[in-house]
Each structure stands twice: as structure tokens, then as C-alpha cells.
Amino acid sequence: MTALRKKIFSEFLGTAALVGVVVGSGIMAENLASGNIAIALLANALATFWGLYFLITCLGQFSAHFNPAVSLIFLIKKDLDIKTFLCFIVFQTLGAICGALLANAMFDLDIFQISEKIRIGSNLWLSEIVATAGLILIILLSPKEKTAIMVASYIGAAYWFTSSTSFANPAVTIGRVFSDTFTGIEPYSAIYFVLYQLLGALVGMLIFSFMKK
């Protein structure tokens, strides 16, 4: 397998696994929390923290963006060429959808679902700008050997300090459309989340550029 194919497969596999963790742990948390949303969110956040840390650590030797917004910033920085960028975002998105479908199947739900969970509001959009900008800053400012723990820790914290619970990832957002469960998001809401996530990524890049002057 060529180096590029390994990177593309790593992006597909990592994003699929990440969404599987997010959606699957959300389903399990909701099933066991007896209606206690705080406990369900805590369980979901912890599972995402651990999953993200392990995935970045294990797949980082190949490629571990798992996020079109991150790949966009690396394209702007000229660390990715346009062909690789396009391949990444396509397979990240496909991976995210597959991860959601897999989570549905593991919990004996209808495999093909479309979420009806509405997430609309200026506070949620602002949260996605903040969450994604922060993620980009963490990635760009962290020492490479600490990226996995820094990113996982930030996302785990951002579950709690943002009203949107920090999606911060266009591919994951699209994947979560395909599970009408605790972590789902309906398609119309997802469109806005993706737009504000991309805006947040650019804000993060601008802040980084200002700090590096």
C-alpha cells in the first residue's frame, strides 16, 4: 500500500472509530443513566476523551486529522496538497457515516436512521466557533509528542464548557446525522454547525498567525 493510501485509510478508519465511540457511548450512556443527562454527558465525554487519545496515538504515525476543518488548516499552511486534502475530507466523511451506522447496529437499532434532534441557536453556533478555534490552536501550538493528550483533553473539557457539547468537526457532525440517538443532530442543524466549525477553524488559524508574529 502506498504512503498516500495508508494516510487515506487511516483517516477513514480513525474517523469511523471516533464516531463509533461518540455515538455508541452516547447510546450506552443514555440507556444506563436513567434520564440523568449530566451523567450521560459525562460518560459520553470520558469515552470520547479516551477514544480520541488512543486513536491519535495509534494512527498518528500514518495520519490522524479525522476532521475536515483540521485538514483545511493544513491545506492553508501548505502541509497538504489539494489532492490529498480532497481525498481526506471525502474519506473522513465516509468514515464518519460508517461509524454512526456501526454504532446503530451494535446496539440493535435500525442501522439507517436520520436524526430528528434539533440543535439550532446562535449560542450553539458561537460555541462551535469557539470549540473549533480552540481545537485548531491546540493542534498548532502543542508539541507534536503531546498532541494526542492535548487534543483529547481539550475535546473532553469542551463537552462541558460549550453549550453545543463541542462537535468541532464537520465530518463527525455529518456522521451524527445518521443516528437518531443521544448524540444525533438533524440535517438542517448540521449544515449550520459545519459552516460555523469552518469559520471557527479560520479564526483559530488567524489567532495562531497573530501569536506567531
Tell whether the torsion through CA atoms of 185, 186, 190 and 192 is positive or negative. negative
Angle (CA) 77-80-84 rounded to 5° is 155
Model confidence, pTM: 0.95
Number of helices and strands in the chain (H, E): 8, 0
Q: What pLDDT, in 10s, does the model give residues 124-173?
A: 999 999 999 999 999 999 999 999 999 999 999 999 999 999 999 999 99
- Whether residue 212 is predicted with pLDDT greater than 90 in this model: the reply is no
The full set of domain ranges for the chain reads: 3-212
Q: 3-212 has which fold? A: Glycerol uptake facilitator protein (1.20.1080)
Q: Would you state the pLDDT for residue 1?
A: 73
What stretch of H or E contains 188? helix 187-212
Q: Would you state the pLDDT for residue 112?
A: 96
In 3-state terms, what secondary structure has residue 162?
Answer: coil
